């Protein structure tokens, strides 16, 4: 499943890293959410491809994001 983050709209609340740390983490430089290196596509911090066993946690993170900037699916 594909997952994207509109990073420029992230408010650094940390919910996605708490809900799904396998896929989301805080960038150490700009403090915005990014996709973990393991699941990143083409070194794009905002785009990931996750296996089926992580789909639920990604969907939980997307649901929990207060500004709705995580998009999962496809």
Identify which of residues 10 and 38 has a Cβ nearer to ligand SF4 in the complex. Answer: 10
Q: If binding is defined by CB under 6 A, does position 65 make contact with ligand SF4?
A: yes
Q: If binding is defined by CB under 6 A, does position 67 make contact with ligand SF4?
A: yes
Alpha-carbon gap, residue 8 to 33, rounded angstroms: 9
Identify which of residues 41 and 67 has a Cβ nearer to ligand SF4 in the complex. Answer: 67
Identify which of residues 5 and 72 has a Cβ nearer to ligand SF4 in the complex. Answer: 5
Pairing of strands 44-49, 70-73: unpaired
Q: Are residues 15 and 25 in contact, defined by beta-carbon separation less than 8 angstroms? A: no
């Amino acid at each position: 499943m594909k997952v994207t983050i509109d990073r420029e709209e992230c408010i650094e609340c940390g919910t996605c890293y708490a809900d799904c740390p396998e896929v989301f983490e805080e960038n150490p430089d700009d403090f915005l959410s990014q996709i973990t290196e393991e699941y990143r596509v083409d070194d794009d911090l905002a785009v990931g491809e996750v296996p089926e066993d992580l789909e639920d946690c990604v969907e939980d993170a997307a649901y929990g994001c207060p500004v709705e900037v995580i998009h999962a699916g496809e």
